[in-house]
Structure 1
Amino acid sequence: MACSSCSTGTDGQPRGCKNNGTCGTDGCNKLTVFDWLSNMSLPSGQTPFDCVEVRFKNSRKEFFRNAEGLPLSIGDVVATQAKSGHDVGIVTLTGELVKVQMRKKKIDPKDKNILKVYRKASQRDIDIWQKSRDKEEEIKKRSREIAIALNLQMKLSDVEFQGDGSKATFYYTAEDRVDFRQLIKDMAQAFRIRIEMRQIGYRQEAQRLGGIGSCGRELCCSTWLTDFRSVSTASARYQQLALNPQKLAGQCGKLKCCLNYELDMYLEALKDFPPQDSKLQTEKGVAFCQKADIFKETLWFSYKNDPSNWHALTKHQVLEILDLNKKEKKIASLEEYAVENLSEDKTVFENVVGQDSLTRFDRPQKKRRKNKKRRNKKKTAKPNA
């Protein structure tokens, strides 16, 4: 979804809210939850839920208790309680759906340790918050230089300032354990703030930073995917994908999460399929499976002594031959069962736009050659006249 300010203008061009990650309606932010209960009133006598969901930088969201009963709505900038000082964030969800999200993330709504919302952010709070956010990119570059100078095997991927500007959290990724005690001392001396180091995984890094996937859409982990399930190469094998690490890996360097999206459908289809390591006993010899097409329900077999010559068989034909082999019966040859002409559906595209061919104004080359020949004949005929 997108907010109304992100729609197109009268000239047909996208206007864009230009909030740069602080959308007022939370319609174009990361991991947005649509409040489908916003237009519904509560039953009489029931008080609204006293917790709200607040979003900070990138995909970090936390729940806070509205103990003061402030009239909060989606898009309000609030000052929240922190371990020391206060933080500033944007309200992204209110009402009964907050309770659902808290249970989904295994947080007890009745927990007394839930931090509180202090107040709606004043203009002074917002100014300090914006100044701190403006310094993040410069501090990130400087901190990377310090880490390289100390020869630390780590990657600083993101920096997040607390709303009051007194503390900065550095997110990093590393293969092994890193001793960054000297790094914290150098950064605290250089930036004059409290430093917190937080290690995250490679998928969490891609979730925080975001990006565009090979499909042309935004990364799933930065828009709607919250649980990272393990992905193995078996998922690619079941879907008959080439085991090419460059194509199967996402921006995080791990296997793409979307390999699991259609895996259940493939596993369901493969239940009725014969095993791809099955062997067919024929009088000409043993035949091995070379390829299988799940959608066309077709398998290709070749003889052991002639592996380059493939014979296409349907799924039911292979199961029939395997049943005969179990009864110790052999078929004469694969040619008797082979499907000779596999129908290939050719995709025909219609001209729905109503435009003509781009080459409709081009002149045929044959006419140009004829014109050149006529001109040459006229030139040769003039001296004779």
Structure 2
Amino acid sequence: MACSSCSTGKDGQPRGCRNNGTCGSDGCNKLTVFDWLSNMSLPNGQKPFDCVEVRFKNSRKEFFRNADDLPLAIGDIVATQAKSGHDVGIVSLTGELVKVQMKRKKVSWDDKALPKIYRKATQRDIDVWQKCRNKEEEIKKRSREIAISLNLQMKLSDVEFQGDGSKATFYYTAEERVDFRQLIKDMARAFGIRIEMRQIGYRQEAQRLGGIGSCGRELCCSTWLTDFRSVNTASARYQQLALNPQKLAGQCGKLKCCLNYELDMYLEALKDFPAPDTKLQTEKGVAFCQKVDIFKETLWFSYRNDPSNWHALNKKQVQEIVKLNSGGKKIASLEEYAADNVKEDRLAFENVVGQDSLTRFDKPKRRRKGNKKHNRRNKKRKTSPNA
């Protein structure tokens, strides 16, 4: 999703609106919600919903009450209520869909303590806001230097200024609890503003910073994923993936969220599948399961005395053998069942060249006559007694 200003340019490159996060149509922003009710009129006598969703830096969104019934649309820059002073953000959603989003995020629209929208941002508000946004990178670099000088085991990942420039929120990640009281004093003295420290998780850090995943696409958490469900190694085991931390970990260092996307399908397919620890009793010995292929419905078994020789059985055959074993019967061997699954490999191409050599038109290499004479001389020297 992108605004009309981000269409392709004459040279085939993306043009870009160059609004630096203040896109008027809100189509270039992360976690944008499409308002499919925007072109539908309300029933007679129904008033528009008096709450709007406002987006701030990165993916931070909050809900505010439009108490003065301001004519707001998506993309409008507004001045909102804050704990002290005011903040500046962009309207990202209006109308009845705001009620759905509030219900989804468990925010009550009847709450009287819901913050309010003061006004549409004036040019002075926008100038102060942009000036503060331009200082964020420099202040983030300086604050990291202060944290390193104090030997604090923490990582400052992002800085967000309040719209009026009176307060800055520093987002950080840390393995353990950090005493940053001296850090706050040093930063308040250096920057001359109020400081708020907010600890976030590694997944929230990746969501705020963004990036490109191993699949070649932008991170899910920074584009559309809003809730972080727990991911454990069992998800990889059910999908028979190699437990390689380097391949299973994402940009945040935790297990990839996409491991849960297809997990339900695998669990559904494994319901009527034999367990991986199934043992088959045969006259040649006990056979153990070595590999399972859910899509082909095939299991590979090998004898205890011959673990390197695998025999492919389909799901129904294994269930039949397990049923016989439960009745106290043993099958003769796995080879009898595996022989039924052998399929002849069919060539998907024809050898139109036949048996002719591909180098038949090349000129044969001629041997040099001088080489034979040289070899004879060397042999005589070796066999001569004087050598």
Q: Normalising by structure 1, report the TM-score.
A: 0.89
> After superposition, what is the alpha-carbon deviation per residue over 1:317-346, rounded to whole angstroms, capped at 9, x for unaligned?
000000000111011100000055357899
Structure 1 335/193 Cα, relative in aligned 2: closer, same or farther at 3 Å? same
- 4+ aligned runs moved over 3 Å, structure 1: 9-13, 342-348, 364-367, 369-373
Q: CA deviation at 1:8?
A: 1.6
The structure with the largest alpha-carbon Rg is 2
Match of 1:352 in 2: none
Residue 341 of structure 1 corresponds to: 342
Q: Could you say if the C-alpha distance between residues 342 and 34 of structure 1 is closer, same or farther in structure 2, counting changes exceeding 3 Å?
A: farther
Give SS of 1:296's match.
coil
Deviation at 1:81, TM superposition (A): 0.8
Shift of 1:10: 4.5
2:342 and 2:142 map into 1 onto residues whose CA distance is 66
Distance in 2, matches of 1:129 and 1:285, equals 77
Query: How much identity, in percent, do the aligned residues show?
Result: 83
The code of the aligned residue for 2:36 comes to W
Map 1:24-63 → 2, pairs under 5 A: 24-63=24-63
Residue 67 of structure 2 corresponds to: 67
Q: 1:301 to 1:243 in 2, by over 3 A?
A: same
Structure-2 residue corresponding to 1:180: 180
In the alignment, the residues of structure 2 paired with residue 57 and residue 229 of structure 1 have an alpha-carbon distance, to the nearest angstrom, of 24
| Gaps in structure 2 of 5+ consecutive residues | 350-357, 367-387
Deviations 1:194-232 (A, max 9, x none): 000000111111111111111111111111111111111
Distance 1:372 1:119, change over 3 A: farther
Whether 1:134 aligns to 2:116 is no
1:20 to partner: Cα distance: 2.8
CA distance, structure 1, for counterparts of residue 308 and residue 34 of structure 2: 56
Match of 1:283 in 2: 283
1:251 aligns with: 251
In 1: Cα distance, 2:344 partner to 2:169 partner: 60
Alignment of 1:120 with 2:120, yes or no, is yes
Superposition map of 1:1-385 within 5 A: 1-339=1-339, 340-342=341-343, 370=363
In structure 2, do the counterparts of structure 1 residues 45 and 271 end up closer, same or farther at CA, with 3 Å as the change threshold?
A: same
Question: Which letter maps to 2:69?
Answer: G
Supply the RMSD in Å over aligned alpha carbons.
2.1
Q: SS where residue 63 of structure 1 aligns? A: strand
Tell me by how many angstroms 1:22 deviates: 2.4
Deviations 1:258-309 (A, max 9, x none): 1111111000000111011010000000000000100000000000000000
Distance 1:233 1:140 in 2: 35
| Residues 1:134 and 1:82: Cα distance change in structure 2 (over 3 Å) | same
Q: Pick closer, same or farther for the CA change 1:69–1:347 going to 2, 3 Å.
A: farther
* CA 372–12 in structure 1, closer or farther in 2 if over 3 Å, else same: farther
Query: In 2 relative to 1, CA 344–82 (structure 1 residues): closer, same or farther, beyond 3 Å?
Result: farther
Aligned partners of 2:345, 2:36: CA distance in 1, in Å? Answer: 46
Q: Which letter does structure 2 place at the counterpart of 1:272?
A: D
CA distance in 2, matches of 1:176, 1:209: 22
Counterpart AA for 1:170: F
| Letter paired with 1:189 | R
Q: What is the rounded CA distance, in whole Å, between the counterparts of 1:16 and 1:290 in structure 2?
A: 53
Task: Tell me: CA distance 1:139–1:6, structure 2 relative to 1, closer, same or farther (3 Å).
Answer: same
Per-residue deviation, 1:19: 2.1
Match of 1:361 in 2: none
Query: What secondary structure sits across from 2:310 in the alignment?
Result: strand
TM-superposed deviation, 1:87:
0.6
Which deviations, in whole Å up to 9, do the C-alpha atoms of 1:94-140 show, x marking residues without a partner?
A: 00001110111111101111111111111111111111001100110
CA distance in 1, matches of 2:193, 2:359: 74
Q: Write the letter of the residue equivalent to 1:14.
A: P
Matches of 1:52 and 1:35, distance apart in 2: 12
User: 2: distance between equivalents of 1:53 and 1:94?
Assistant: 7
Q: Secondary structure at the match of 1:183?
A: helix
- Rounded to whole Å, the distance in 1 between the matches of 2:279 and 2:66 is 68
Letter in 2 for 1:294: I
Gaps of 5+ in 1: 349-363, 374-385
Amino acid at match of 1:341: V
Cα distance in structure 2, aligned partners of 1:371 and 1:131: 78
Secondary structure of 1:268's aligned partner: helix
Letter in 2 for 1:42: L
Q: Distance in 2 between matches of 1:173 and 1:273?
A: 43
Whole-Å Cα distance in 1 between the matches of residues 165 and 344 of structure 2?
67
